[in-house]
Structure 1
Amino acid sequence: MRRVVTDPRTELTSAGTVLRITMRRLCRARNIVLHGGSTQGVALEATLRTAVPLVGAGLDRITHAALVESLAPLDLAARAENGLDLVGDETDLRVVDILEPRR
């Protein structure tokens, strides 16, 4: 977290890369189970161990935005993407402001 606060753009870009890799891995594992009928894949357990907490956190954030701000998931995604582009820039947007608007 210290690195995120000191260099948010680099660290959040890295976190986004890890998330994309994990989600691709989850989709591949899903396809192997669904289309291939195999639940004995070597990578299945590791994929679930890494992907489930990320998916859970994402669903929690989507639910929070919907209940507290009446914000649709695509609007939250747009806010997050804009925030990632602007954080650590001359806009003075802080890491904690990416998903929560300033009031």
Structure 2
Amino acid sequence: SASGNLEECDQIISFAEKSINNMRATINSERNEKLAALNAECEAAMAASKDKVNKEIEAALSGIEKDRTVVLESMAQEVEGFCWEIMAKVLDDSEMKDIKAMDDKLFKV
């Protein structure tokens, strides 16, 4: 009957909407998990790099503060670039643009 067919169509549409919403939620959740993991990885890399740079500078330059600052800034820029490169490999172009638009200083020290 026509009403039975309409009811079945409504059920199919409802199922499709729920499936799409579940898929969106899953994709968002996975993206957020990847971003959190990348952020933690980048923070750890920056912390390790800072520690290593500080030790090398103190031993080699005997406290010349200007040189220390220059080296740290350079290392932070390299780590920041590395973090953005990792994200570019994981995210598609539109997601990358969205994240950069939201916070282009995400990995700044």
Same fold (TM over 0.5): no
More helix by share: 2
Shorter-chain TM band: 0.3 to 0.5
* Structure of higher CA gyration radius: 2
TM-score by length of 1: 0.38
